[in-house]
Amino acid sequence: MSINKPIFKGAGTALITPFKDGAVDYAALENMLEFQINGGIDALIICGTTGEPATLDDDEHKRVVEFAVEKVNKRVPVIAGTGSNNTQYAVELSKFAEKAGADGLLLVTPYYNKCSQKGIVSHFNTVADAVNIPCIVYNVPGRTGFCISVDSYKQIAKHENIVATKEASGNLLLMMEVLEACAGDIDMYSGDDQQVVPLMSMGAIGVISVFSNIMPGEAHKMAKACLDGDFKTAAQMQLKYLRLMNGLFMQVNPIPVKTAVAKMGLCNNEFRMPLCPMDAADDEKLFNLMREQGLIK
């Protein structure tokens, strides 16, 4: 089977998972999917870190992916987060997502037990061998305690099913080295909203965004400006929204962004422990940043 490469260019939203009375709120999820598509987003990432997958049980995780695929109905690519620190479980979940109709997979590096660089190559290759849809690896050492090396990137980039990386290491030098070493073999998405323009100016093809949960149209326009080579406009947008982007990380993601989405009336401000709502003072700091951009009154 020929793998589509790339899955998307531009801005993809790492979508939150809404809850109501302890359960997944599918009505709110459908509304958020429509809000994203109507806003012009280029792709949707379901059950990534921002979607609180660590506290979804197996049935919930699968149903959220199925639901999103069904409701989006190929209007934009749907990428399912199916990574795990258990390689076999990642394989099983990835096979399920492929069967459900996902357009691609997001595979985070193993966490807690971590692994060696040799292990990460084997882990990603094993998952990619098990499916026939494109895979995006996800490097986020701040959460996992593990960072993919340039040499490991060079090895996994050879797998025809591994088409891109979501780079959230925060290490621009590493990203530059990966872009140079893997040119033509693997694409890159910024995993941090604050680094979209710098990274795309060096060859990344888009962003997997938290910010776009609340401003999908602006995230799309900023990435599109980069793709069009209009870095002056893109830089102006990056700076215009920088304070709000920073505000969405004033506490651990996805607490602030779900608080923001809830304030916009799209979902409840409900989390699963150990995540919990922010206090009123932080709420107000975030809401003031949202007011500056006209998102709320």
Q: Tell me what the mean pLDDT of segment 172-181 comes to.
A: 95
Mean pLDDT for the chain overall: 96
277-293 in b/e form (b: 16+ CB < 10 A) is ebeeebbeebbebbeee
Task: Report yes or no: 102 and 133 within 8 Å, Cβ to Cβ.
Answer: yes
Q: What pLDDT digit, counting tens, does each position of 54-93 carry?
A: 999 999 999 999 999 999 999 999 999 999 999 999 999 9
Q: Which residues are catalytic?
A: 138, 166
Task: Report yes or no: 17 and 29 within 8 Å, Cβ to Cβ.
Answer: yes
Q: Tell me what the mean pLDDT of segment 204-221 comes to.
A: 98
Instruction: Quote the pLDDT of residue 1.
Output: 41
Q: What percent of the chain has pLDDT over 70?
A: 99
Distance (Å) of CA 287 to CA 47, 260, 282: 26, 7, 9
pLDDT higher than 70, residue 125:
yes
Cis peptide before 274 (omega within 30 of 0): yes
Q: Tell me what the mean pLDDT of segment 209-237 comes to.
A: 98
pLDDT higher than 60, residue 19:
yes
pLDDT higher than 60, residue 2:
no
Q: Identify the residue with better confidence: 247 or 3.
A: 247
pLDDT higher than 60, residue 267:
yes
Q: H-helix or E-strand containing 164?
A: strand 162-167
Task: Report yes or no: 293 and 244 within 8 Å, Cβ to Cβ.
Answer: yes
Q: How far apart are CA 20 and CA 12, in angstroms?
A: 25
- Lowest-pLDDT range, 1-15, 102-116, 151-165? 1-15
pLDDT higher than 50, residue 175:
yes
Instruction: Quote the pLDDT of residue 4.
Output: 62
CATH 3.20.20.70 fits 10-228, yes or no: yes
pLDDT higher than 90, residue 289:
yes
Q: Tell me what the mean pLDDT of segment 25-44 comes to.
A: 98
Q: Tell me what the mean pLDDT of segment 27-51 comes to.
A: 97
Where are the chain's structural domains? 10-228
Q: How far apart are CA 158 and CA 28, in angstroms?
A: 40
Instruction: Quote the pLDDT of residue 5.
Output: 76
pTM of the full structure = 0.95
Instruction: Quote the pLDDT of residue 184.
Output: 86
